[in-house]
Amino acid sequence: MDTKKLLKEAKEARKNAYAPFSSFAVGAALLTKDGKIYRGCNIESSVMSPSLCAERVALAKALSEGEKEFTAIAITGAPVGEDPKDPCYPCGVCRQVLSEHVDLSAFQVVTEENGKEVTCTLSELLPKAFVFEKN
Ligand code: THU
């Protein structure tokens, strides 16, 4: 997996962030099993609750195009106008939503800390995940 390229895509996506309320711009790039990349950025709303995180925008784009298998997501975030220094991990809601579409222990979350790539699995970020089972 070319994580450098995935991070680059996330940085490109971040340029489209619509974050006039938090002034925090996030970009994400979601990689499918067959190598396609779906970008997402955060999109805020003045009434707050409809605001969307970059990760869920990327996932919704991919799912709505029929994609079903994902191997990694790169995320980058920082205040608008600044270059990201700190790692940007998915929020709790995005962790849960992603967990419903990926293999938790294999799916990689890639971000950067002071220009250095850091990677972990979604199961490290969401241990003991809620799993809905219909009977
Ligand atoms: N945000 C994301 O897009 N992804 C994350 O992983 C963390 C937070 C967005 C939501 C909101 O628009 C802004 O960043 C500040 O929380």
Question: What does the DSSP assignment read for 18-65?
Answer: B-TTT-EEEEEEEEETTS-EEEEE-B--TTSTT-B-HHHHHHHHHHHT
Task: Enumerate residues 6+ apart whose C-beta is below 8 A from 1.
Answer: 31, 71, 72, 108
**Closest Cα to atom 4 of ligand 1:** 53
- 55, 65, 67, 112: the catalytic one is 55
Task: Judge if 18 and 55 occupy the same domain.
Answer: no
Task: Judge if 68 and 126 occupy the same domain.
Answer: yes
**24 pocket-lining for ligand 1 (C-beta < 6 Å):** yes
**Closest Cα to atom 10 of ligand 1:** 53
Q: What is the Å distance from ligand 1's center to 106 Cα?
A: 24
Told to judge if 112 belongs to the known catalytic residues of this protein, a careful annotator would answer no
**How many domains is the chain partitioned into structurally?**
2
The pLDDT, as a whole number, for residue 135 is 82
Q: What is the pTM (predicted TM-score) of this model?
A: 0.97
Name residue 28's beta-bridge partners.
40, 75
The pLDDT, as a whole number, for residue 69 is 98
Task: Judge if 60 and 77 occupy the same domain.
Answer: yes
Range of the domain at 24: 1-44
Q: Give the mean model confidence (pLDDT) for residues 102-130.
A: 97
